[in-house]
Structure 1
Amino acid sequence: MNNVTPIENQGQRVLTSDQLAELYGVSTDVIKKNFSNNRDKFVEGVHYIKLEGLALKEFKNRVNNVHLVGKNANTLYLWTKRGAARHSKMIGTDTAWDVFDSLEENYFNPKPQINLQGLSPQTQFAIQAAQAMAEQERKLAQIDHKVDAISEIVSTSTMDWRRATRDIITKIAHMRGDDYQVTRKDIYKDVEQRGGYSLSTRLTNLRNRMAGEGQSLSKRNKTNKVDVIGNDKRLIEIYMAVVKDHAIKYRVWANEY
């Protein structure tokens, strides 16, 4: 993130829509469309700062890089850390998630440099231990961000949700040295134990309802337990929690940070 031009407004670091789009590997129109279609999920002053009129003019005069703001722009949206996080969740790609993790660590929260020279060995050890603990907490928070992002995708795109969970389970299977189907079966088992449900029974009931509706046998046979989970918001929440626990247990993202 060293090549990102730092911008500050109202005492906090922010990013323009163009910067955010370039970092996340999408067009600026995607950022604008996500904001327009989900405006109720963004709060001014929390997720973004809207500049226009005199405030925009003053900002243009203050920013050194003229390319950050269009010369004829009459409105400018600046995205805070929480706004950038929300956009990464809506985009939902590995690139967007990973880039936000890096933004959170290096751009929005730049680390102060601590000079250990001249300190006693005991003090140096204490500082290094505290830094190691903070690093571990950061890694767990990044894993939370990745998996929680899937939950938000559910409300906008079922296919993206299915693809994201499938990719994570594939990684879990690889870390276990096991077959994908066996790994998914274990996850289903934990979902049933945690929720007190029988996915097999629910799948049978779903297929019976489909038969009663006149749907073809081939379509009924293709219906699986993921379809059952997708029909129940509570089951989705349990499924996400179980996938997350398995990902942490088998250190799926340990090598990414």
Structure 2
Amino acid sequence: MSQLQPIEHQGQRVLTTSQLAESFGTDARRISENFGRNLERYKSGKHYFVLSGNEKRSFLDRTQIADSSKNAQLLYLWTEKGAWMHAKSLNTERAWEAYEMLVDDYYRVKETAIDLTGLSPQLQLLIAMEHRQLQIEQKQQEHEQQLATIKETFLQRDDNWRQKINGMLNGAARRSGKSFRDIRTESYQLLEERGKCQLNIRLKNLQDRLADTGATKTKINETNRLDVIEADARLKEIYTTIVKELSIGTLV
């Protein structure tokens, strides 16, 4: 990831669409398309800011942005929470890794230490307690957000889709004389070839994220490759086609 030009709006760090796309290993068009498809999930002022007219010109004069976003009629600026929404939509290893780096190295600017030595011990203690309480509240908010994401993205399964997939695989196995496990393994291998992905690595990353957010050991162990596939719209579409081909192939 190249060095990002720090820009701020309304007291917080933000990224342009071009900066976000470059960080996540995609292009600005994909970011805009994902935003358009999930517009109702985004809130202005929370996930993004949009500038136009004089406000946009004033912002560009102040920040001297040097990427292609400045040429757009509307200038979108993405907050940390907005970047998280886009990482969730892309759901690639590159995007999640980049998001973590952005949180640590860009969005959350290191606070300048304040010299408290001239204050009374009682006042120093009160300040330390207040600072600690703010840290606890921030961690709790992050934890709750992560749990909500896990529940929404991974744990609410499309049972109808899974039933259809397993039904087609069962039928293909029965008609071909192969075991269900062999047919399923073949389908995963074909997906890795066509989708240019490694399911085992993605599954391990998903299980690690579940563990980090406090999911139960049972839930982590129950997570499987179908969870990985279902969470990625592109892989889900490719895999559905593969399973249909396997099922049809046994009828020829």
Work out the CA distance in 2 between the residues paired with 1:77 and 1:155: 31
Q: Could you give the per-residue CA deviations for residues 39-80 of structure 1, whole angstroms, max 9, x where no partner exists?
A: 11111221111111221121121122333643x421111111
SS in 2 for 1:66: coil
Shift of the 144–99 alpha-carbon distance from structure 1 to 2, 3 Å rule, reads farther
- Deviation track 1:212-257 (CA, whole Å, cap 9, x = no partner) reads xx94444993599xxxxxxxxxxxxxxx68994449x9xxxxxxxx
The answer to whether residue 55 in structure 2 is matched with residue 59 in structure 1 is no
Q: Pairwise mapping of residues 214-229 of structure 1 onto structure 2 (< 5 A)? A: 215-218=171-174, 221-222=180-181
1:84: how far off?
Answer: 0.7
> In structure 2, what is the Cα distance between the partners aligned to 1:140 and 1:101?
17
Q: Which amino acid aligns with 1:9?
A: H
Does 2:12 align with 1:12?
Answer: yes
TM-score normalized with structure 1 length: 0.51
Q: Which residue of 2 aligns with 1:76?
A: 75
RMSD: 4.8
Cα distance change of structure 1 residues 22 and 2 upon mapping to structure 2, 3 Å threshold: closer
Q: 1:36 to 1:6 in 2, by over 3 A?
A: same
Residue pair 2:17, 2:69 contacting (<8 A) in 1 also: no
User: 4+ residue runs of structure 1 moved beyond 4 angstroms?
Assistant: 115-119, 130-158, 240-243
Residue deviations 1:11-53, cap 9 Å, x none? 2211101000111111112111111111111112211111112
One-letter amino acid of the structure 2 residue matched with residue 94 of structure 1: E
> Could you tell me how far 1:102 is from its partner in structure 2?
2.4
The whole-number CA distance in structure 1 between the counterparts of 2:147 and 2:16 is 26
Residue 114 (1) aligns with residue 113 (2): yes
Identity of aligned residues (%): 29
Alignment of 1:1-257 (within 5 A): 3-67=3-67, 69-70=69-70, 72-114=71-113, 151-154=151-154, 210=167, 215-218=171-174, 221-222=180-181, 244-246=215-217
Separation in structure 2 between the aligned mates of residue 141 and residue 245 of structure 1, nearest angstrom: 19
Separation in 2, partners of 1:64, 1:43 = 26
Q: Cα offset for 1:140? A: 9.6
The alignment's TM-score, normalised by the length of structure 2, stands at 0.51
Point out where structure 2 has 5 or more consecutive residues left out of the alignment: 122-126, 185-209, 221-252
Q: Kindly state the Cα deviation for residue 143 of structure 1 after the two structures are TM-superposed.
A: 8.5
Secondary structure at 1:114 match in 2: coil
The change in CA–CA distance for 1:48 and 1:156 in structure 2 (over 3 A counts) is: farther
- Cα deviation for residue 112 of structure 1 reads 1.5
Report the Cα distance in structure 2 between the residues aligned to 1:94 and 1:144, rounded to whole angstroms.
Answer: 22
- What whole-Å deviation, never above 9, does each CA across 1:127-147 have from its counterpart, x for those lacking one? 99x999999999999888778
Amino acid at match of 1:20: L
Distance 1:7 1:68 in 2: 15
Distance (Å, rounded) in 2 between the aligned partners of 1:157 and 1:26: 27
Note if contact 2:17-2:78 (Cα within 8 Å) is conserved in structure 1: yes
| Cα distance in 1 for residues equivalent to 2:34 and 2:156 | 10
Cα distance in structure 2, aligned partners of 1:156 and 1:32 = 26
**CA distance change for structure 1 residues 109 and 19 in 2, over 3 Å: closer, same or farther?**
same
- Cα distance in 2 for partners of 1:48, 1:76 equals 10
